[in-house]
């Protein structure tokens, strides 16, 4: 039975992913037999699908800082582990603001975070092998 090829990680194709973080992840499953990278990316994307609607509902006139804090905290660490360091830093900033109740500029930061999420998601999905 042929093995599915290990995803070729070429972070040069994506400026939103850190090459060293991706290399560390790939070292955990060097030949790809456990499909670690595919599983981690799938879990991250599934997490986005769950968290982003919550974030959208928490925005606007009835800004819910608890939800904003939770979503940004969750995305902060998972994004960092996949090499999305800029997104992780933005999430940390948003989390801190939400924790101290600072709302000035929050919507702009959230808009930027969502744009970065789209870029990161696209970059991560491009690392996956093509499936028939």
Q: Give the model's pLDDT for residue 10.
A: 45
- Domain extents for the chain? 18-127
Residue-by-residue pLDDT tens, the chain, 132 positions: 333 444 444 444 457 898 888 888 889 888 888 888 899 999 999 999 999 999 999 998 889 999 999 999 999 999 999 999 999 999 999 999 999 999 999 999 999 999 999 999 999 999 887 654
Written as one string, the DSSP assignment of 90-117 is: HHHHHHHHHHHT--TTHHHHHHHHHHHH
pLDDT at 25: 85
Answer CATH for 18-127 from 4.10.95.10, 3.90.1170.50, 1.20.120.160, 3.50.50.60:
1.20.120.160
């Amino acid at each position: 039975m042929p093995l599915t090829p290990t995803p070729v990680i070429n972070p040069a194709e994506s400026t939103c992913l850190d090459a060293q973080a991706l290399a560390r992840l790939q070292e955990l499953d060097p030949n790809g037999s456990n499909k670690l990278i595919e599983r981690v990316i799938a879990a991250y994307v599934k997490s986005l699908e769950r968290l982003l609607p919550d974030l959208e509902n928490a925005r606007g006139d009835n800004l819910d800082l608890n939800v904003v804090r939770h979503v940004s905290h969750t995305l902060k660490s998972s994004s960092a582990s996949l090499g999305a360091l800029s997104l992780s830093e933005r999430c940390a900033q948003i989390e801190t603001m939400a924790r101290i109740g600072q709302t000035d500029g929050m919507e702009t930061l959230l808009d930027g975070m969502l744009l970065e999420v789209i870029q990161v998601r696209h970059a991560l999905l491009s690392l996956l092998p093509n499936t028939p």
